[in-house]
Structure 1
Amino acid sequence: MTAPLGHQGINARSLPGLSWSGSPYGMSLNHKILSLAVLMGLVIGVLYYYLYMHQPFWFQCPVKTTSDRPKSMIRYHEFRLVAPENLAYKQPSIVHGRSDVVTVTPWLAPIVWEGTFQPALLDGIFKPRNITIAATVFAVGKYIRFLKDFLETAEQHFFVGFNVHIYVFTDQQDQVPYVKMAAGRKLELCSVPSSNRWQEISARRMELIQVLIEEKLQNNVEYIFCLDVDSKFHGRWGTESLGGLVAVVHPGYYRDDRSRFPYERRPQSRAYVAPGEGDFYYCGGAFGGLLKEVHQLAKTCRTNFEEDAKKGIEANWQEESHLNRYMWINKPSKVLSPEYLWQDFKPRNPEVGIIRFSGVIKNYAEIRPNA
């Protein structure tokens, strides 16, 4: 009688060549070892799947390389902040400081006020890197009258001791005043056409800033600030303002509830900010940051403005409306307090310890062609 499959008796005398003899249903030992190996492989595979692929806490999660990450997550990072070794400055504190104002946003961007930074320390960090800061200013039509004060006060207060290139967009190059500039600082004129509508001049700023960056600044400048010409400097504006994307809180609305902000409220516009949305109301007359960040802002705002124009829509405050929409979605990495663009007709509030830059008093009906 033949033994059931797989149950033949095995002894030393019955292992010639490590094989079974006898029944035609018998299996060679080599085949049995192979089957056992396959079974063990399956068991190990199952264990590997549940223990490694499910990543319990005792296994380390594999780290993705930069090339594996989604491209939208890759952002330009600023350089390390390396301070001079022997620079003396007041000891910083995390328990004492400004208590009358907020100095950080909900997304953890610093809000710059007087008393929140050490000028010598920041200058000591940035100076060795030999950075260049560009500034754009538009002096079109009767706004040319403000250019002299702007340029003269910029020489006294705007990034003093650094390389500064100021680009003046104007339709009256022969009326640009001469202002002596320090070493490392220069003025360049950019010709633009006149307009019968001040709104058109305002709206084209983003396009002109985008083109300037693409055609002239890409390899020569690290940071850029876009400033209103009908303003002047009164105090230091320097390295404390440098950041990726930099916004200035509007002095007219920084104490108000956002329901009072003059955002564009028509849903048909690409500048639309819905009721209950928005962070701060930012100035269109002062913004800046790293060159690539400002380029992206200008390009996006220009595109959105042109899409609105196709539908016959002009945002409530032209480029300022589009800028506010952009910065609600793309949060600024540094926010400058109203010290950085006050309004001369307003009395200074107690929390504003210094006015660094301000819009001068003027008669809009007289200087704007269609006011």
Structure 2
Amino acid sequence: MTMKIGILYICTGKYYSFWEDFYNSSEKYFLSGIEKKYFVFTDSTKIIKSHNVEIIHQDNLGWPFNTLYRYRMFLRIGGELKNFDYIIFLNANCKFIDYISLTDFFGLNKNLVACIHPGFFNKDKSEFTYEKRKKSKAFIENGYYYFPGGIMGGDANIFLNICKSLNYDIEYDLNNGIIAIWHDESYWNAHLNNNYQEIKDDLHILSPSYLYPEGWSIPFEKKVILRDKSKYIDIKGIKETHQKQTSILKKIRLIFP
């Protein structure tokens, strides 16, 4: 039976500029010889549908909802994603620079994949920037690792069930006026850390080789470069053009009642 991989990619607003390099480098280096299909959530008309690229129109929701609502986005096409063996999300600014096999990335007999955050691999747990508010569904009291939101995925059905759970937690918090400190990343960390003892045997943890920030020098082999977004788009401007979280919440509830 042919292995099928679904790749989830979000590039609303100016982020579309990363797509070409992401796609070309993935086709060259990532899971060579394995059937891959890209699901691109975008408001851009510059990305073209093809035999292995499906475009899902996604409005630009602004900061932080373009990232906070990623699980909701994925669930929009959950029925189609269930037909894949594995699904994986990668940040828009990722660029593959070395060959990566199926076992390298997903491990052996593992159901989930996450990555060690390149900024925290050598930090004490007390420095991890978990959500500390006990009222939040993303609350972590004592964690094990700090995982970036830039890579997440695994067995299609298992990951989609996690997306459902995290989407519920996000909505629960929003209804109580809470946005977790690092948005979708905080909820991902909460799931993996709060359930770590139960899922650790099914979790494949990648090193920072797979999210190696551009311009950094850390003791890992470079597999996937995380390009410096500020060199390509005005990140500060994107964030500053949006109102405070309280007023954004009112707007988003009108869009998603």
Q: Is the pair's TM-score, using the shorter chain for normalization, greater than 0.5?
A: yes
SS in 2 for 1:325: helix
1:337 and 2:200 matched: no
In the alignment, does 2:22 pair up with 1:150? Answer: yes
**SS of 1:284's equivalent?**
coil
Distance in 1 separating the partners of 2:140 and 2:194: 10
Q: C-alpha separation between the residues in 2 aligned to 1:251 and 1:199?
A: 22
Residue number in structure 2 paired with 1:211: 76
- Residues 239-281 of structure 1: per-residue CA shift (max 9 Å, x gap): 122220111111110111111111111111110112xx11110
Computed over aligned residues only, the root mean square deviation of the Cα atoms, in angstroms, reads 1.7
Which residue number in structure 1 is paired with residue 255 of structure 2? none
Q: Secondary structure at the match of 1:167?
A: strand
Instruction: Return the letter of the residue paired with 1:227.
Output: L
Question: In the alignment, which of 59, 70, 75 is matched to residue 193 of structure 1?
Answer: 59
Within 2, Cα distance between the matches of 1:150 and 1:163?
17
Task: Give secondary structure in 2 for the equivalent of 1:287.
Answer: strand
Matched, 1:369 2:231: no
Q: Which residue of 2 aligns with 1:346?
A: 216
Per-residue CA deviations over 1:204-254 (Å, capped at 9, x if unaligned) read 1011112322x2122x21101111111111112221222201111111101
Alpha-carbon distance, 1:359 to partner: 1.0
What is the CA–CA distance in structure 1 between the aligned matches of 2:207 and 2:55, rounded to whole Å?
30
CA distance in 1, matches of 2:63, 2:46: 19
SS in 2 for 1:369: helix
Highest RCO, 1 vs 2 (Cα 8 Å, sep ≥ 6) = 2
Residue 316 of structure 1 aligns to a residue whose secondary structure is: coil
Shift of residue 363, structure 1, vs aligned partner = 1.4
Q: What is the aligned partner in structure 2 of residue 225 from structure 1? A: 88
Structure 2 portions without partners, runs of 5+: 241-257
The answer on 1:176 being equivalent to 2:47 is: yes
Q: Are 2:113 and 1:234 equivalent residues in the alignment?
A: no
Give the distance between the partners of 2:210 and 2:158, measured in 1 at CA.
20
Which has the greater radius of gyration? 1
**TM alignment of 1:13-162, pairs within 5 A:** 129-162=1-34
Aligned residue number for residue 308 of structure 1: 173
Q: Name the residue aligned to 1:252.
A: 119
Answer yes or no: is the 8 Å Cα contact 1:166–1:186 preserved in 2: yes
Query: For residue 284 of structure 1, what is the aligned residue in structure 2?
Result: 149
Kindly provide the amino acid, as one letter, of the partner of residue 176 in structure 1.
Answer: I
* Aligned residue-pair number: 229
Question: CA offset at residue 145 of structure 1?
Answer: 0.7
The structure with the largest helix share of the pair is 2
